[in-house]
Amino acid sequence: MINLQRVSYVRLGTRDIEGAIRFATDVLGLEVAEVSKGAIYFKSDEREHTLCYFEGDPHDQAVAFEVGSRAALSAAASELERLGHPVHAGTPSEAEARKVREFIAFNDPTGNRIELVWRPAYSGARYHGTRDAGITEFSHVGLCTTDAARDEAFWTQVCNARVSDRVGDAPLLRINEVHHSIAMFPTDRSGIQHINHQVESADDVMRSFRFLKERQVRIVFGPGRHPSSSAKFLYFEGPDGMVFEYSSGVKMIADELLYRERQLTFDPAGFCEWGAKPDVPEFRS
Amino acid sequence: MIEIEQLRYVRLGTRNLPAAVDFAQRILGLQLIERNDEQATFRSDFRDHTLVYEVGDPMQQSVGLEVRTQATLDRAIAALAATGITATAAHAQALARRKARAMASFRDHSGNTFELVVRPQTSGWRYFPSRDAGVTGFAAVALRTTANEADETLWTTLFNGQVSDWVGDAAFIRFDDAHHRLALHPSSRAGVLAIEYAVEGMNQIMQAMYFLQSAQVKIVHGPGRRPTSDQMFLTFAGPDDMLFSYVAEGVRIADDGAHRPRQFARKHLSFCAWGSESTIPEFAVSEDSD
């Protein structure tokens, strides 16, 4: 069993790094943590970085999860190899580029690039965004799946994820007390489907709604409220068609024994209890 | 000092009673209590009714406020007379229509009509609305004023009103622990600007936004949050250009002594902290320096 502790960061290739910087700072409200040759690191919480844009193919994407120890990392590597997932052991320079001590990388059954990292860097300087978006942390990713049942089995049986709710066949998976750190959405491709940052309050969601509208950022879903996690949300489009989400008030599941996952309908009502209709391909029935 | 006990109702004239009834039930989501050829009354809470549409001129509008006893009403009539305002006692038919024991009506300095009522009826039956808008009660009335200082003074000296905050010269006046029950907005004319109903919470405000959009009701302001009262709000247009708002949350002012009225600049952000703007003249602002 691979024990994932927390979602750590996302790496995204882009052909337009200047555009990505403008979006991440002026629109999303992240803080530039470091600029290096061909890559830029953004900070959203107490960690050294949670988002990295690098010069490259926009299809080149990876999401990282923290594991607890070096032993856990090597056990994970052998388990993945045994199951037929080729494992790449990160080189020291690759680890440095990720601000982690050690890491391995592999593809999940859909082909999403996953990195398992040990000792990702935290930073002493507190996060101070370039605009007052109220971001509190990088919180979860949506991942594409070409076979939801197969991938749910991978994340829940090979890894320690638990199903918190299902929207149609899409499982919302938790690896700690947060309702979901991974959400899997059935589609015909691999890749990161959306990137979520938590904000302080519903006021922040609504202020950003006006802010983004004024700047003609394409809003693809919301403002709304998920019946699953009870979070108030807003989804909008960033560079290379990537969907970003602000949300506030995600449910915490403290008592594993008392919690029972629920089945929600794969339609607008299953995604939003306020009545918003998604313009996100993976959310449309 | 005349004690206003609480807001009771708004009466609105309309040339098209069936359309007004349809709006109040199907869109606003209130409960129809009585309907005849002359008027229709609607309930929103423990009060027998808080909204009345009566056949007549849409300019004919009045706001009902409760005073406790006949003696208080008599004192109010005398006090108003002393400031040159004539209050007229109601006849039996008007009282029956209002389900009150006594009443006197008067106009403020702008010409807005108020009715002071004694022992208006409370309903023993639970409020059961026609749609699940989550309305919890009649909350406030926003009025246009052409004499904001004089009107404000009327409520704060003759009556027990207190200014909670100002946005520019618009005054938010409270009579109990709610931030305001009357809001006076400087305007070129008199009249009721908006009738406000409290709903349970943010879910209801936002559900209403999508509901009103799909019903093609014109949303004129919000969803937003007022920096003054801290209420979330959504304002939309009803029949005869009357505005209605759903409001939720908001501060309570329990300790009068501890609250000092605050002056907010006349800016969009003083009406809405979320950044929503409005084309309603009373909320329109000729500034671009946000």
pLDDT digits (tens, 9 = 90+) for B53-75: 999 999 999 999 999 999 999 99
Q: What is the DSSP letter of A268?
A: H
Contact by Cβ (8 Å): A106, A80: yes
Contact A203 B223 (CB under 8 A): no
Look at residue A132 and tell me whether its pLDDT is greater than 50. Answer: yes
Query: What are the two backbone dihedrals, phi and then psi, of residue A267, each rounded to the nearest 5 degrees?
Result: -155, 175
Give bridge partners of residue A225 from the DSSP assignment.
A232
Query: What are the two backbone dihedrals, phi and then psi, of residue B17, each rounded to the nearest 5 degrees?
Result: -60, -45
| Amino acid identity, position B165 | D
Look at residue B288 and tell me whether its pLDDT is greater than 60. Answer: no
Residues 6+ apart with CB under 8 A from B157: none
Task: Search chain A and give the residue with CA nearest B223.
Answer: A206
Task: Please check whether residue A215 touches B, CB under 8 A.
Answer: no
> In chain A, which residues have their Cβ closer than 8 Å to the Cβ of B223?
206, 223
pLDDT digits (tens, 9 = 90+) for B208-239: 999 999 999 999 999 999 999 999 999 999 99
Task: Search chain A and give the residue with CA nearest B208.
Answer: A274
Interface test with B, best of A200, A204, A210, A213 (most B CBs within 10 A): A210
Pairing mode, strands B243-249 and B135-145: unpaired
Element (H, E) at B32: strand B31-35
Task: Please check whether residue A169 touches B, CB under 8 A.
Answer: no
Q: How far is B211 from chain A (nearest CA, A)?
A: 7
Task: Search chain B and give the residue with CA nearest A208.
Answer: B274
Contact A207 B273 (CB under 8 A): yes
pLDDT band at B119 (very low <50, low <70, confident <90, very high): very high
Q: What is the pTM of this model?
A: 0.92
Measured CA to CA in angstroms, residue A107 lies from A29, A57, A83, B155 at distances of 30, 17, 12, 71
Alpha-helical regions (H) of chain A: 17-22, 70-82, 92-98, 148-153, 202-214, 268-271
State the pLDDT at residue B286: 67
| Amino acid identity, position B84 | G
Contact B207 A274 (CB under 8 A): yes
C-alpha–C-alpha distance, residues A87 and A77, integer Å = 6
State the pLDDT at residue B290: 43
What's chain A's length in residues? 285
Token readout for A23 is 């979006």
Q: Give the dihedral of Cα atoms A138, A139, A144, A148; nearest 10 deg.
A: 170
pLDDT digits (tens, 9 = 90+) for B138-192: 999 999 999 999 999 999 999 999 999 999 999 999 999 999 999 999 999 999 9
Count CB-CB contacts under 10 A for residue B7: 24
C-alpha–C-alpha distance, residues A170 and A183, integer Å = 7
C-alpha–C-alpha distance, residues A252 and A40, integer Å = 32
State the pLDDT at residue A177: 97
Q: What is the DSSP letter of B30?
A: P
pLDDT band at B287 (very low <50, low <70, confident <90, very high): low
Token readout for B193 is 């600007």
Give the residue-averaged pLDDT of B28-45: 97
Contact A202 B224 (CB under 8 A): no
pLDDT digits (tens, 9 = 90+) for A69-127: 999 999 999 999 999 999 999 999 999 999 999 999 999 999 999 999 999 999 988 99
Residue with tokens 């004239």: B13
State the pLDDT at residue A181: 98
C-alpha–C-alpha distance, residues A252 and A229, integer Å = 8
Measured CA to CA in angstroms, residue B190 lies from B143, B153, B266, B282 at distances of 7, 16, 20, 12
| Amino acid identity, position B253 | I
Contact B206 A274 (CB under 8 A): yes
Residue with tokens 């040759």: A37
